[in-house]
Structure 1
């Protein structure tokens, strides 16, 4: 494809406002639109396409997709504010609405965790406020719900979207700029075989599961969500006097029990107290990572780990001495980090860790080593695109699990629920290591766990490992694959690890065949090879800031080109 000179693009759109499309209307679009409105100085036409009947929630916060009992794992203080913070929004809601959302009005706090559906309603209101603000600035906004974008293709002067409405004929529409923000990618029907579920979402799909033994592969937040959804179908959690919970099964549910399996057999730890905004790092910071990436030397991951180790030692000398961090290479540190927990019964550790986290919250005390690792995960992530394949595999196997364990803590209420289920004899967590197999093609349905020569059949088996990184072949817009705009960092037919699609730091797919700023890809599963920790609301905000500012600059250039063309024509 031959890209025309910039003046041809201007001539094509002479006298027209730039046209921008957002595909998807969840938090990523909301934060990108917020940044775009902040930075835009000239009017433009905006169309938002959403497959669902309403806008703003995105998959993680949508009714039906999530059970009302499911909690978000981000507190108000961590959510970047839009027109208002989450706590401010909650504070002006009626008691009736709060109770409907499962929130006690007297317990609203910026450090509290709220049901996912409550965050969904917050984001709906924030998007509508953003649209009103955009229109007041002269931006022409069209919202098209119940419209599925089934394809996108790149041309020399814009993008063409193929759209299939829920009602009415399909159509195509061209735009100067497109932002793909399609979010997580899960199967629409998770029960792919009787009793075997490829994901725990939508939660409504689990509603028909009878009170039978259930196995959940995974033990992180996704698995906890599945366990909670099942538990409230077959019983109820009851507040106890000691600030704990008990679980009361419904009559006729004696056979109901959940087994979570994971390599290490660990539950996530309880959310810990830390100050925001982040305090600066002394050694292992972004500037140090930039110097490592620029100096061209080898052994990049190991040199970064040396800085990680030094920062951790300076932040918490007692922890460093206890683990003997100074003597540990990367593999050794990863093993030592998990060793004490793996040697302790899972639920005993969970109960002790919960008490510690509760006490630290009460005292507003920050555990230094936890906070240091938390801040460093975003710093080390900036180095990932510069690692060679061997280093990337090493990072993914050893260091990434440490970071994920540290930042993917869960609400205290979630830990209480897991403890309550265990005390009621309804939950166990077992470590299966690396050498096991799951046979999901059984005549009796569900799946069979095969470990050390033993076979254990479960009538229901749920995969709950969270979103995995996807390759270009899974990209939902086939024309962009055929055009070579969307392609893998590493070919799928090689032995190299999957590292996502080829994008730059501004989230453009890298291709010589498309003009600058024509397309931005913010679809999370395809970015995780370059940005392995990119899931969540804070990531949506950070991506939105980058893309919103770039879009505003592109709109300004288009406006200036039009003005120049008009002057030239008049002359």
Structure 2
């Protein structure tokens, strides 16, 4: 009998999983894809409504793993009409260009359609069901039964041999939890409805920039000159409009820096070295940090000497990494950093210490699932911020926009440290922020610190919780140190009560505790490869008995 597979979600993670599975030429199977949105393939981060057309993806074309054609090649074959609709200038198409997020959504949508056509051509049974939401799942010995709510509201039960949960980020459709208080910066159309007033934004990195762009475009426009400089022109009647980003250190992200791709191999702080530390079954963070320092010093001796790297403990290194920026005005630093990044791109110049840290973040992530609670706390507090700052740099145009807003008197950035309080229950709406004894009132307030790890209690399939199949990786962890749900390296739930390869959990918010850097498109591709290998093997195993029976019949 043909094995059945269900994908819950049809965004990039599901697409990369299907791509990798088809590339393995697996035994025949029937695939059903459930997508809650009207259109499959884009994924929430790249869908209209959730994003303003001007919002830029934080990944260059060269970094996006190709799904058949690369993003650059796909763009080059599009019509002038479609390019214009996406806001793409044909002359600017390049493998290192950062494109609007909606462009990536169109690319993924087209690639999904091509993959489905390819699967059908290979004789596979494919069903794509949009406007369908999976509301529960129950594991049984003969498969997983999904409760599916159709567009009409009717609920049906459908059984599958294998289920891949690829639901991506989780954000509310209506982020305004209380009048003027928004618990996320998406959808962008909800943020754009905020009137021109005093707006507080908790966060000063990628999500906060999204919120600032959405608001800025609702109350004015960015004007680009021929030389590439950007100015902000506020609309009439918006004199009271001002945004304040706030974060612990009060820093803007740095501009994307030139780095050779694919990454050059590390020589000291390697995956093999991390695996050896894990196998030694002792404390991990300090010996891993020692290897990190050794690799960094080898890559950039001058930088190591300047910051006194050899004598720095982990906590000291984090402070040293951010020290110069913390002492400067964030916009002055951003302007200087942008100019340096542009010059380095023009010369294809690599800053060795930046590139070394960039290459090491995925290697150091290998130890995270094995850290004890205190090591995990220290990693999150003092090591992770360095890696996130280094790899989560932003397009140069995003920095230019923030500088333009600041010059126009519409944006400021404040450091609020650790000892602050946010009161989002004002009778008149918005929020009050109390930091360093000062009280700051905002007519509207947006939480924009990005996706946080979620505990098992937020898992979308309650029956799997009741069955004990989905559980917290560390049940007693405080909210500030959630480790997500318990899964193995192949993304199976760690439970003896579910058959092998029945469920793969690729829902990002529940993995961030175990995989702290897993939020991007490249992570979708990496997870897809892992799950595709498991699915192909499961299909092969299920076909083996049938093949044996057929051989026996022939022999008889």
Q: Report the CA distance between 1:187 and its aligned residue.
A: 1.4
Q: Report the CA distance between 1:185 and its aligned residue.
A: 0.7
Asked if 1:465 is matched to 2:431, the reply is no
Asked if 1:291 is matched to 2:291, the reply is no
Structure 1: runs of 5+ lacking an equivalent: 1-15
Asked if 1:151 is matched to 2:151, the reply is no
Q: Report the CA distance between 1:94 and its aligned residue.
A: 1.1
Structure 1 residue corresponding to 2:545, chosen from 532, 538, 561: 561
Asked if 1:74 is matched to 2:71, the reply is no
Secondary structure of the structure 1 residue equivalent to 2:52: coil
Secondary structure of the structure 2 residue equivalent to 1:150: strand
Alpha-carbon separation, structure 1, partners of 2:357 and 2:241: 38
Runs of 4+ in 1 over 4 A off after TM superposition: 492-496, 565-571
Is the 2:493–2:504 Cα contact (8 Å) retained in structure 1? yes
Q: Report the CA distance between 1:299 and its aligned residue.
A: 2.9
Alpha-carbon separation, structure 2, partners of 1:407 and 1:39: 31
Q: Report the CA distance between 1:168 and its aligned residue.
A: 5.4
Q: Report the CA distance between 1:495 and its aligned residue.
A: 8.9
Asked if 1:362 is matched to 2:355, the reply is no
Asked if 1:528 is matched to 2:508, the reply is no
Structure 2 residue corresponding to 1:322, chosen from 289, 306, 321: 306
Alpha-carbon separation, structure 1, partners of 2:545 and 2:518: 35
Alpha-carbon separation, structure 2, partners of 1:76 and 1:496: 34
Alpha-carbon separation, structure 2, partners of 1:59 and 1:495: 25
Q: Report the CA distance between 1:452 and its aligned residue.
A: 2.4
Secondary structure of the structure 2 residue equivalent to 1:83: coil
Q: Give per-residue Cα distances to partners, 1:294-329, cap 9 Å, x unaligned.
A: 112x33100000000000000001111111101101
Summarize the alignment of residues 35-50 of structure 1 with structure 2, pairs less than 5 Å apart. Answer: 35-50=20-35
Distance 1:220 1:493, change over 3 A: closer
Secondary structure of the structure 1 residue equivalent to 2:127: strand
Q: Which residue of 2 aligns with 1:243?
A: 228
Secondary structure of the structure 1 residue equivalent to 2:111: helix
Structure 2: runs of 5+ lacking an equivalent: none
Q: Report the CA distance between 1:387 and its aligned residue.
A: 1.0
Aligned length: 555
Alpha-carbon separation, structure 1, partners of 2:227 and 2:67: 38
Q: Give per-residue Cα distances to partners, 1:416-440, cap 9 Å, x unaligned.
A: 0000000000000000000111100
Q: Which residue of 1 aligns with 2:326?
A: 342
Alpha-carbon separation, structure 1, partners of 2:155 and 2:171: 24
Q: Which residue of 2 aligns with 1:25?
A: 10
Is the 2:11–2:42 Cα contact (8 Å) retained in structure 1? yes
Give the structure-1-normalised TM-score. Answer: 0.95
Is the 1:22–1:180 Cα contact (8 Å) retained in structure 2? yes
Q: Which residue of 1 aligns with 2:260?
A: 275
Q: Report the CA distance between 1:561 and its aligned residue.
A: 2.2
Alpha-carbon separation, structure 2, partners of 1:495 and 1:361: 41
Q: Which residue of 2 aligns with 1:307?
A: 291
Q: Which moved more, 1:120-129 or 1:483-492?
A: 483-492
Distance 1:196 1:496, change over 3 A: closer
Is the 2:62–2:95 Cα contact (8 Å) retained in structure 1? yes
Is the 1:490–1:496 Cα contact (8 Å) retained in structure 2? no
Give the structure-2-normalised TM-score. Answer: 0.98
Q: Which residue of 2 aligns with 1:411?
A: 395
Is the 2:416–2:436 Cα contact (8 Å) retained in structure 1? no
Q: Which residue of 2 aligns with 1:129?
A: 114
Q: Which residue of 2 aligns with 1:11?
A: none
Structure 1 residue corresponding to 2:44, chosen from 49, 59, 84: 59
Alpha-carbon separation, structure 2, partners of 1:37 and 1:241: 46
Q: Which residue of 1 aligns with 2:491?
A: 507
Secondary structure of the structure 2 residue equivalent to 1:152: strand
Q: Which residue of 1 aligns with 2:464?
A: 480
Q: Give per-residue Cα distances to partners, 1:339-388, cap 9 Å, x unaligned.
A: 00000110000000000000000001111000100000000001111111
Q: Report the CA distance between 1:565 and its aligned residue.
A: 4.5
Asked if 1:383 is matched to 2:367, the reply is yes
Secondary structure of the structure 1 residue equivalent to 2:244: strand
Is the 2:477–2:483 Cα contact (8 Å) retained in structure 1? no
Summarize the alignment of residues 138-217 of structure 1 with structure 2, pairs less than 5 Å apart. Answer: 138-167=123-152, 169-217=154-202
Q: Report the CA distance between 1:566 and its aligned residue.
A: 5.2
Alpha-carbon separation, structure 2, partners of 1:242 and 1:276: 28
- CA-based RMSD of the aligned residues comes to 1.3
Q: Report the CA distance between 1:150 and its aligned residue.
A: 0.2
Secondary structure of the structure 1 residue equivalent to 2:66: coil
